[in-house]
Amino acid sequence: MGLKRFVGDRAFYRKLLAIVMPILVQNVITNFVSLLDNIMVGQVGTEPMSGVAIVNQLIFVFNLCVFGGLAGAGIMTAQYYGHGDHRGVADSFRAKLYIAAISAGLFLGVFHFGGELLIRQFIHEGGEALDLAATLRHAKAYLRIMLIQIPPFALQMVYASTLRETGETMLPMKAGITAVLVNLVLNYILIFGKLGAPVLGVEGAAIATVIARFVECAIIVTWTHRHREKNLFLETAYTRWGIPAQLLKKIVVMGLPLLVNELLWSSGQTFLNQCYSLRGLEVVSAVNISSTVSNLFFCAFISMGNATSIIVGQLLGAGELERAVDEDTKLIAFSVALCAAAGVVLALISPLVPRIYNTTDTVRRLASQLLLVVAVSMPLHAFCNACYFTIRSGGKVMVTLIFDSFFLWLLVLPLAFVLSRLTAMPILPMYIVLTLADQSKCVLGYYLVKKRSWVRNLVANE
């Protein structure tokens, strides 16, 4: 068969583009505006930019925990929808509401009472004379306001994920685009004090984000309820508050490992950045610039991962197991090719983007070097991500937990701890070593996908 097994026909790519393009466009626009936001905050100075970066790293843990908490129910949603069971979709939607509410409440408590302690773990002296106290002050002010956006973010995640899993990808994209444009305009006005507004700096950036979150949530929730004929799950979603015991068991069995996985992975990434921060506050700023720019390019494999989960999940739910395997192979190949091209573009612009920031030459140079490392590793990121979503689509969540978080905590983070605290290794070689260590799990991902234990229909007997 040769290359044919990796390349689909026109119908395959039309289906793929119909699903992935709205997700990709939304992610690109969101991350592009985040980049512009980051640049705006960066114009205020290195300390405000570092403070915002630290808080956003903490908020990142919450965002991924909500994503992971909803993922188990999301697997069932996609398969119920592929099976034509709208009552099942309603039950899984209801479970998502509970999960989102509990997650939001827990993180609000943690950030309110322990936010300053967490922020202080990232603030260390480095080679440049930067104001550590000012960084802490900016971070605390930013976090205090950002707590307000946690509930609307959790609610819109419940609705948006359900819409995507039931085939509606355009509306979340439109809502996301609207929200990021609102965020961008308000950032410009509130950070710099335009159109008669006071100069609020990082607090203005936080206020803009909060307003944008409420706008996005309102659009998605309102549209969903106004189009009940398209969203048939709403007929029974709020008619009762219980969850069928059989479904609840499946969600717990699959969802708990996914939640733990996202919690371990996101907190692991936060700990990894804390290890980097021991090399100084300028490293925090450089990693922030690098990660913000990289996230724009990561949209390629993140969107393909979502598309893989939806397409493969629906095929498995419909009982088309061999077709699911065939299309998954093509999805992985397309994702790697797409991200290889994105890596080339990132490598070309890596020396240019950091120059936009109002920061030191040391920070700019280091950020450029880190971006180049990310660019080279893009195809590996794509393959690992595609393997993860493939395994997850069949409900093999314990395997994904081992593949993702255990690998991080048992190999990468111990290595990061040793290199950052017990050696004087400079940040660039440390970053390269840890990136290669993390992406070595490609071998494990290949084995798990080829094993085909994920090829199963979870809703056939319901």
Q: Give percent of the chain with pLDDT exceeding 70.
A: 96
pLDDT for res 84: 79
Closest by Cα among 393, 385, 359 to 441: 385
pLDDT category at 33 given cuts 50, 70, 90 is low
More confident residue, 340 or 57: 340
Distance CA(69)–CA(106), nearest Å, equals 13
Residue 17 pLDDT grade (very low, low, confident, very high; cuts 50, 70, 90) = confident
Confidence of residue 462 (pLDDT cuts 50, 70, 90): low
This model's pTM is above 0.75: no
130: confidence class by pLDDT, cuts 50, 70, 90: low
- pLDDT given for residue 413 in this prediction: 94
Q: How does 160-171 read in b/e, with b if 16+ C-beta sit within 10 Å?
A: bbbbbbbebbbb
